[in-house]
Each structure stands twice: as structure tokens, then as C-alpha cells.
Amino acid sequence: MGIQSGYPELGEKEGKILGIVKENWPISAMEIAEHFKEDLSSHESKKRQSTNYAYYLKKLVKRRLIRSKKIGRSLVVWPIEVEAYRAIHNIIKGGGF
């Protein structure tokens, strides 16, 4: 099940989504839907898929595996490890945290 992702508490779909986020960050719910080759031909299907993947992304945010930010009407996410890169960058620049 989710053991392949390295997080046994995750479901199969959540594990796949987490893998996509780690490989392609920053990424939105619609870009993840495109990755899974979902039907995005109509406004209704885009809205449905956006809501579907936003649900899984919010679950991953709640488990503190990814971070998110609303940009316009899009939910954009990136892996939690990126925050460490940001901290290191700020320290190198001399700005602290």
C-alpha cells in the first residue's frame, strides 16, 4: 500500500501524489491532475479534478509532509524539505532565519 512511498500511514494515491510533488515542485493540483492524465476537457471536469487533488494535498499538508500556499485560486505545494533549503540560503546570505 503506502509502504512504497516510505510512509506506511499513507494510502497508495497519497504516496504517488507525494512522489510527484517531490519530483516536480512547486506544483499545483491541476498540474498533478495532468500528470495522472485526468479528463480536463470541460470546466466542470477541471473543477472536479482540482477539488479531488486539493483534498489529497491538504491531507499531506496536515501530516506535515508538504507545504502549501494559495496563489490566486490555485493551491501550490512543495515538499517540506524545501524549507530547509530556504533556511540554509538565508544563513549563507547572512540574513538568519
Select from 62, 14, 5 the least CA-distant residue to 36.
14
Q: Walk me through the domains of the chain, giving residue ranges and CATH numbers.
A: 9-93 (1.10.10.10)
Q: Output the pLDDT for position 96.
A: 59
Q: Is the dihedral of CA 22, 63, 73, 49 positive or negative?
A: positive
pLDDT in tens, 52-65: 999 999 999 999 99
Residue bearing the bigger pLDDT, 5 or 67: 67
Q: Output the pLDDT for position 1.
A: 45
The pTM of this model reads: 0.81
pLDDT in tens, 55-92: 999 999 999 999 999 999 999 999 999 888 888 888 88
